[in-house]
Amino acid sequence: MRLSLKVEPRLETSRLLGLMIPVLSLVSALAMGAVFLHFMGVSPAKAYSTIVRASLGDAYGISETIVKAIPLTMVAIAVMLAFTMLIWNIGCEGQIFMGAIAAAAAVRYCFVDNRLVMFAIMFVLSGIAGGVWAAIAGFFRAKWNVNEIITTLMLNYVAINFFNYFIYGPWRDPTSLGFPMTPLFPDTARLTCYCGTRVHAGLILALLLPLVFWVVLRFTRWGYEIRVMGENPKAAGFAGMSYVKNVVLVMFISGAIAGVAGMCELSGLQGRLQAGFSGGYGYTAIIVAWLARLHPVGIILVSFLLGVLLVGSETLQIVMRLPVSSMLVLQGLILFFVLGGEFFRKFRIRIVTGGGHRASPEALKEGE
Amino acid sequence: MRRFGWLLVLVLGFTMCGAAYAAFPPIPAEEINPGFVYIGPIGDGGWTFMHEKGRLEMEEKYPGVKSVFVESIPESHDAARVFETMIRNGSKVIFGTTFGYMDFILEVANKYPDVIFMHCSGYKDAPNMGTYFGRMYQARYLSGLVAGKMTKNNKIGFVGAHPIPEVIRGINSFTRGVRRANPDAEVQVIWIFSWLDPAKEKEAAKALIDSGVDVLAMHADTGATPQAAEEAGVYVVGYNNDMSAYAPTKHLTAPIWDWGMVYKETIGQVIDGTWAPKHIWYGLKEGMVGLAPYGKDVPDSVKELVEEEKARIVSGEWDVFYGPVKDQSGEVRVPEGSAMTDAEMLSMNWFVEGVKGELPQ
């Protein structure tokens, strides 16, 4: 008798399995990580408890985890929206930068000494800047079928160079001794921070946006159209939905959200444009969106967990004196296992007993 | 920029010799737990590698002191969290090793007045925040002498990280050295707008080599430029540390740092209770900057020239930006008989004669 493994697509995934797979993936990743930590010469239990204690153990840790989760959530929503329509917006990083530039321009050229009005102006301008930046790629894609992965990615570099132009050139702070940064924003142009922590008003947007888009995608006609166009653009076209209009619109909204996220980072935390402004949120958010399987509410959860990991791993370096590369290995393991687990959601592995020689020629052909 | 010149001098003058701060009470060695925050990984083979070396030297001198470090922290608000996390885990002294941390150090310093902060290469201070840097321009000048003597076609390339005063000062002093040794040579600059991007650094180096330079110099954090130089067979002047490992046959020398000097001094003062914030800017004389060992192709006559010039600087008889200094357009910026002040050097924002390249305006 022969034993063999057969991989087959699942016709449907049960709810229980859908919940179990990410949990099991996480547990196996942590188990692998434990082996790794053991060989690094530290106690895995102590290392993991340090991560959790640092990021969730006290008010400070939780506040910093939230600070990390805010931009991740917002940008992941932007990514999710485009991805739902199978438009690959890889350009959120550039849209974040454009939003930040627009916010800085708002502070520079239309400063109003009222926090709410100032916030509204920055919000609108950064949204438009990020949105237009993304819509350019969207338009090319819809009109001439130009691959948006390439255009959005390339526009990132253009945006970063724009950013450099302003901080090295016309907006450079004259009192900065020639260092590339704009003057510090006045207080009214800073977002409110809560309870003496660095958690800023962006939190409200980060909680609101996922809910809004969950409702829109699930319960509105437009949301339905986007989903249909994502799955079958041709059918959508026959049904009278305008592909061009919707691609540009979706890209605009996606970019606008990323732009506003950039504004929140700038006005809530950084306080001025300076080199090294974004920590690569535009790219990390892609991972977040995938891990959350493009579910708006799942994105909040995943962003928060990623925040835990990022904040906790810094503390791990300090307390257990581990090098940064070991933190990257841990983070990589978790991503690898969780994304790998997706395979088992879509496919199942069956143990087939018995010899292949008894199978009919048709079955053999299918098996190939 | 020029009309703000007086303002810069004023601001600097105020920060450099302004308010005298009181000394801190002593802290026992076991309780200091100094925290080092690095912009790159300790294996970058350059900037962060040298800071880490300094940290280890400090620990060797003060075995009771147990320091911690965190690598690869970008110049963004993330840095503030790392400082604060270190303090919450017992650090009483924090070293931030890159310019971009400045505002975040100040922010956390105001929040924790009992913790001592040392910021590398910045200009802001506080009752509990000092700065440290070195007169790297002096060592760069010496390395320029070597490059000027070694070039055959008088074309020298320079890979620059960011167009900020620190790097501009470095390029200018290097070029002053080059021109002193060889009045016909020119230095072509390419900016990569990043401290730590080996791929970009290498591309820039290759572009310069393709344009025909036969000696390269660099101001960035890694060993990518020497690597490119070795592959293409052109001479190279490294930076930060002895980079001959990256270019075994083509490495001429490198202007190098001794950060351990500052780290040992600071921790010693903290233990003694004599630490007070100041702006450290040590040079060749104190030994905080110097030259790496010469490559085998550097002739003795060049080494002698370097020694002569070094003696002039160390004795205080002369310094790199003593007049006359002309800018790119040939206009005399520093007349004969006068010299640039520290404040002017720290805010330097123009190229000297002999540099080919542009500054973003």
Both tokens of residue A313?
């791993």
Domain that holds residue A78: 65-304
Percent of chain B whose predicted confidence (pLDDT) is above 70:
94
What is d(CA A181, CA A172) in angstroms, rounded to the nearest whole number?
A: 5
Q: How many domains does chain A have?
A: 1
From B78, B163, B346, residue closest to A177, measured CB to CB = B346
pLDDT at residue A1 above 90?
no
Asked which of A12-21, A38-47, B16-25 is least confident by mean pLDDT, the reply is B16-25
Distance from chain centroid for Cα A366: 39
A341: confidence class by pLDDT, cuts 50, 70, 90: confident
What is d(CA B168, CA A59) in angstroms, rounded to the nearest whole number?
A: 44
A283 Cβ under 8 Å from any chain B Cβ: no
If you average pLDDT over every residue of chain A, what do you get? 89
Nearest chain B alpha carbon to A322: B70
CB of A88 within 8 A of CB of A153? no
Both tokens of residue B127?
């009752």
Higher model confidence: residue A2 or residue A118? A118
What is d(CA A67, CA A200) in angstroms, rounded to the nearest whole number?
A: 8
What is d(CA B147, CA B102) in angstroms, rounded to the nearest whole number?
A: 34
Higher model confidence: residue A353 or residue B2? A353
Beta partners for A181? Answer: A274
> Hey, which CATH number is domain B136-249+289-356, 3.30.470.10, 3.40.50.2300, 1.10.3720.10, 2.40.40.20?
3.40.50.2300
Can you list the residues of chain B whose pLDDT is less than 70? 1-20
Asked which of A144-153, A239-248, A342-351 is least confident by mean pLDDT, the reply is A342-351
Does residue A273 sit within a domain? yes
Instruction: Supply the pLDDT for residue A176.
Output: 79
The number of beta carbons lying within 10 Å of the beta carbon of residue B295 is: 20
From A198, A278, A319, residue closest to B89, measured CB to CB = A319
Domains B23-134+258-282 and B136-249+289-356 share a fold: yes
3-state SS record for chain B: CHHHHHHHHHHHHHHHHCCCCCCCCCCCHHHHCCEEECCCCCCCCCHHHHHHHHHHHHHHHCCCCCCEEECCCCCCCHHHHHHHHHHHCCCCEEEECCHHHHHHHHHHHHHCCCCEEEEECCCCCECCEEEEEECHHHHHHHHHHHHHHHCCCCEEEEEECCCCHHHHHHHHHHHHHHHHHCCCCEEEEEECCCCCCHHHHHHHHHHHHHCCCCEEEEECCCCHHHHHHHHHCCEEECCECCCCCCCCCCEEECEEECCHHHHHHHHHHHHHCCCCCCEEEECCCCCCEEECCCCCCCCHHHHHHHHHHHHHHHCCCCCCCECCEEECCCCEEECCCCECCHHHHHCCCCCECCEECCCCC
Q: Check CB contact under 8 Å for A179 and B99.
A: yes
Q: Check CB contact under 8 Å for A275 and B168.
A: no
What is chain B's alpha carbon radius of gyration, rounded to the nearest angstrom? 20
Instruction: Supply the pLDDT for residue A361.
Output: 52
Nearest chain A alpha carbon to B345: A177
Percent of chain A whose predicted confidence (pLDDT) is above 90:
62
AA letter at A324: V
Instruction: Supply the pLDDT for residue A174.
Output: 82
* Chain segment A262-285, per-residue pLDDT in tens: 999 999 999 999 887 777 899 999
Distance from chain centroid for Cα A300: 10
Instruction: Supply the pLDDT for residue B340.
Output: 95
- Chain B residues contacting A via beta carbons under 8 Å: 1, 4, 7-8, 11-12, 35, 41-42, 68-78, 80-82, 84-86, 88-89, 99-100, 103, 123, 162-165, 168, 193, 346-349, 360-361
In this structure, what is the dihedral angle of CA atoms B237, B243, B244, B250, given to the nearest 10 degrees? Answer: -30
* Chain segment A185-229, per-residue pLDDT in tens: 999 999 988 888 999 999 999 999 999 999 999 999 999 999 888
From B7, B72, B361, residue closest to A324, measured CB to CB = B72
CB of A98 within 8 A of CB of A325? no
Percent of chain A whose predicted confidence (pLDDT) is above 70:
96
Calculate how close chain A gets to B4, using CA atoms only, in Å.
Answer: 7
What lies within 8 Å, CB to CB, of B165 at 6+ separation is A177, A178, A179, B345, B346, B347, B348, B349
Q: Check CB contact under 8 Å for B74 and A276.
A: yes
A323 Cβ under 8 Å from any chain B Cβ: yes
Q: Check CB contact under 8 Å for B360 and A169.
A: yes
Calculate how close chain B gets to A265, using CA atoms only, in Å.
Answer: 9
From A165, A177, A269, residue closest to B123, measured CB to CB = A177
Q: Check CB contact under 8 Å for B164 and A274.
A: no
Q: Could you check whether the bond before residue B324 is cis, i.e. omega within 30 degrees of 0?
A: yes
Domain spans, chain B: 23-134+258-282, 136-249+289-356
Asked which of A55-69, A80-94, A166-180 is least confident by mean pLDDT, the reply is A166-180
> Under CATH, which number does the domain B23-134+258-282 receive?
3.40.50.2300
What is chain A's alpha carbon radius of gyration, rounded to the nearest angstrom? 24
Instruction: Supply the pLDDT for residue A276.
Output: 75
Both tokens of residue A52?
């959790």
In terms of DSSP bridges, do strands B215-219 and B129-134 run parallel, antiparallel, or are they unpaired? unpaired
